[in-house]
Amino acid sequence: MFIGHFAPAFIAAAVSPQSPRLGTLFVAAQLVDWGFFALALVGVERLRVDPQASVMVPLDLYHMPYTHSLIGAGIWALACLGVVAIMHRSLIAGALAGTVVVSHWLLDWVVHVPDLTLAGQPPKFGLGLWDYPWVAIPLELGLTLGAFWFYLRRSRGPMGPPSVLLGVMLLLQAVNWFAPHPETAGPFLYLQALFAFAILTALAVWVGENRWFQKRGSLAFALQ
């Protein structure tokens, strides 16, 4: 899953006036992948290209105990919670960001073939929807578009920035699904992933600076 991970970020940004800005929540949504590809660059976590790994994703994610175990994701979530709570002086803001971090493991569990762990060691978990594109693709698009609509309904501001963000998200997802797959794993692949996260995060920061929470029942909301 790629852009589907940002669905919890859109939802968390729209549920409370104390929610962190969208850019912060976009970082939270992919925080464990930021960590994974950074650790892969230095050889701490590892993957390899394997066309037999799954129908949609030819990557064997065979060693990622610090980012994609449930306990590891929980530690990243607690760290994010603490940082965001301090920055915003709000435990609610921190809890929302931490919840978005943990959601990454749960969404991965739905689509990954069994390569996720609880504590870094087997057994490995994953429902394997990557082997069923006719399920995985509509699911990812549905999650993303539904959460995006929720965010727009619960916030107000110009439509230009979120429209650009959504367009770039869909473009990058199309590349992820339909572009030629890499032949080998290595620094170029890892930096490519980090660059894609950075582009989307920068756009989310732009969106978050131009939209703000809208309480239900107010006149402005009623006129939308």
Cβ pair 130, 136 in contact under 8 A: yes
Interior angle at CA 33, CA 154 and CA 56, nearest 5: 90
Distance between CA 47 and CA 36 in Å, rounded? 10
Eight-class DSSP state of 3? G
pLDDT profile of the chain (224 residues), mean per 10: 96 96 98 98 97 96 97 98 97 98 98 97 96 98 98 95 98 95 93 97 97 62 38
Which tokens sit at 63? 């060693």
Q: How far apart are the first and last CA of the chain?
A: 32
pLDDT for res 221: 39
Interior angle at CA 211, CA 141 and CA 160, nearest 5: 65
Distance between CA 115 and CA 174 in Å, rounded? 24
Instruction: Count other Cβ atoms within 10 Å, centred on residue 146.
Output: 13
Sign of the CA dihedral with 86 first, then 88, 94, and 100 last: negative
pLDDT for res 83: 98
Q: What are the strands, taking DSSP E only, across 27-128?
A: 46-49, 59-63
Which tokens sit at 125? 């978990």
Query: Domain locations in the chain?
Result: 3-213
pLDDT for res 216: 55
Eight-class DSSP state of 57? -
Instruction: Count other Cβ atoms within 10 Å, centred on residue 202.
Output: 14
